[in-house]
Amino acid sequence: GELPSLAGKRILVTAGPTWEAIDPVRYLTNRSSGKMGYAVAEVAAEAGAEVTLVSGPTTLPVPWGVRRVDVTTAEEMFRTVMEELPQADVIVKSAAVADYRPVETAEQKMKKSRDAMTLHLVKTKDIAAEIGRRKEGRFFIGFAAETEQVEQNAREKLARKGMDLIVANDVSLPGAGFDGETNAVTVFDAAGEVLRLPVTAKREVARRLVGLLAERLNGKELD
Ligand code: PMT
């Protein structure tokens, strides 16, 4: 079907993983490819929005008409998102940000000597929670990757981080979540479930999310 218009809307999308360096040649990361967030950025641009894509390391090309800002670490993503936030009407946080990073990054490549070693990790700053605190009138869509109690965990996250919608993927389902061309999602707002999509191409998931966003933004203008 036709895409609704998002003309005049400024949308900030985050996508991809982060890399948290252990030493000059090693890092901690996750399986995010960026495909879900890039699809949202691409479809939002097609709908006429002005799109900024804050991207962790991926191999994907910049979608047509999208401004991309590249970052590597969770800390860089935090700083970039906070810089871009004042210029955004809508935030879509589909990146898979590291929850922990090494306390320190070794300056030289670590040697193989002892039989066992311990990596000391510290929590990264929670970008979503900070967006929630600073959001004012902005519309905030978060993602949640869950493997159990999907609805309960997602709805708690929505409330705790001040999101308007949360897109929960059950990443334990085949064909859903990290990497791959498809996803299966359930979208919740504070009142409950608003949309459920079985295993569907990420581009189509993005179209449905953009449709839902346009609906919610237009609804908001009426009251
Ligand atoms: O990139 P693909 O391969 O296409 O895969 C898509 C995806 C599975 C990565 C995507 O659909 C998705 O679910 N993204 C969110 C993954 C995630 O980190 O979920 P979470 O439940 O661990 O985190 C919840 C929210 O907190 C997320 O919006 C996350 O960006 C955010 N967070 C986490 C840590 C941190 N330091 N700051 C954050 O803001």
Q: Please write the tens of the pLDDT for every residue from 122-148.
A: 999 999 999 999 999 999 999 999 989
* Residue 203's pLDDT band (cuts 50, 70, 90): very high
pLDDT of 221 higher than 60: no
| Homologous superfamily in CATH for domain 10-106+120-218 | CoaB-like (3.40.50.10300)
Q: Which residues are CB-contacts of 136 (< 8 A; sequence separation ≥ 6)? A: none
SS3 content of the chain, % helix, strand, coil (to 5): 30, 30, 40
* Residue 2's pLDDT band (cuts 50, 70, 90): confident
Q: Which of 81, 82, 97 to mutate to test the pocket of ligand 1 (most atoms within 8 A of CB)?
A: 97
Distance CA 192, CA 53 (A): 28
Distance CA 107, CA 221 (A): 53
Q: So what's the pLDDT on residue 222? A: 44
| Six-digit token string for 58 | 């991926």
Distance CA 146, CA 151 (A): 9
CA distance from start to end of the chain = 27
Active site residues: 30
Q: Which of 37-51, 66-80, 141-155 has the lowest mean pLDDT?
A: 141-155
Question: What ipTM was estimated for this complex?
Answer: 0.95
pLDDT of 188 higher than 50: yes
Which secondary structure element, helix H or strand E, spans residue 209, and what is its range? helix 202-222
* Residue 206's pLDDT band (cuts 50, 70, 90): very high
Q: Is 220 annotated as contributing to ligand binding?
A: no
Distance 99 CA to ligand 1 centre (A): 10
Distance 187 CA to ligand 1 centre (A): 14
Q: Is 140 annotated as contributing to ligand binding?
A: no
- Among 126, 191, 188, smallest CA distance to 154 is for 188
- Among 168, 124, 178, 163, smallest CA distance to 143 is for 168
Q: Which of 34-38, 58-62, 85-89, 145-149 has the lowest mean pLDDT?
A: 145-149
Where do the structural domains in the chain lie, given as residue ranges?
10-106+120-218
